[in-house]
Structure 1
Amino acid sequence: MRKTDKKRDNAIRLALTDACEQALEQIPGFKWLTHYVDYQRFPQSLKVVCIFESQSALLAANTAAHDVLMRKLVTEALADIGIAMPNPGTNISLQAE
């Protein structure tokens, strides 16, 4: 990983930490999130995975439109550091533990 990639990854991690903290306060059943990226294909390769405590919590989040809120929180956090998500519907996924 190049030095610029490390700096970018750290900025992404910090931005997603902020989004995670907001989601923990606002979205019932949300537990944590992580990201994966191939810097050779950045930003198209950036993937964020949001984890819920159970399948029922994930279904409840989808029913209450919290999936939309989750994607918005992540997209806005990344936009604050100058990273536009190419396709939030595809690049941000929600899963159960």
Structure 2
Amino acid sequence: MQKTVKKLDQNVIKALTNVCELAKQQVLGFEWITHTASYARFPSSLAVICVFDTDASLARAKLEEQDVFLRRQIQAQLLKVGVKLKDARHHVRFDSEQACAAQNNGNWQLRLKTH
């Protein structure tokens, strides 16, 4: 990994860690956050995945518009580290531990590659 790409990835991780800590306190059922990216096509290739404990928690969060809250937080924190997303709806996805367990036997690496 090139030095500039490594620094960029560290900044993305820093921004998403801030969102994660806030979300764990404020969004019921939220568990963790991760990302994937092809830095040759960054930031258009950036995908951020917010993971909830169950499908029911995820559905409740969407009903209460916590998905909007999370997208705004992600967009704001990324902007602080110099990453501008055109439309966070295209970059931020939501998933659950329950769905991963049922569909991918809990294998998140496989799930992230196929989604």
Letter in 2 for 1:21: E
Regions of 4+ moved over 2 Å: none
2:88 counterpart residue number:
88
Bigger helix fraction: 2
CA distance in 1, matches of 2:6, 2:62: 34
Letter in 2 for 1:66: Q
CA distance in 1, matches of 2:2, 2:41: 14
TM-score, L = length of structure 2: 0.82
CA distance in 2, matches of 1:41, 1:92: 16
Q: CA deviation at 1:96?
A: 1.1
SS at match of 1:20: helix
Name the larger-Rg structure.
Answer: 2
Percent identity over the alignment? 36
2:15 counterpart residue number:
15
TM-score, L = length of structure 1: 0.97
Q: Any stretches of 5+ residues in structure 2 without a counterpart?
A: 98-115
SS at match of 2:49: strand
Q: CA deviation at 1:85?
A: 1.3
**Which structure has more RCO (C-alpha within 8 Å, separation ≥ 6)?**
1
Q: Is the 8 A contact 1:43 1:86 kept in 2?
A: no
Q: Any stretches of 5+ residues in structure 1 without a counterpart?
A: none
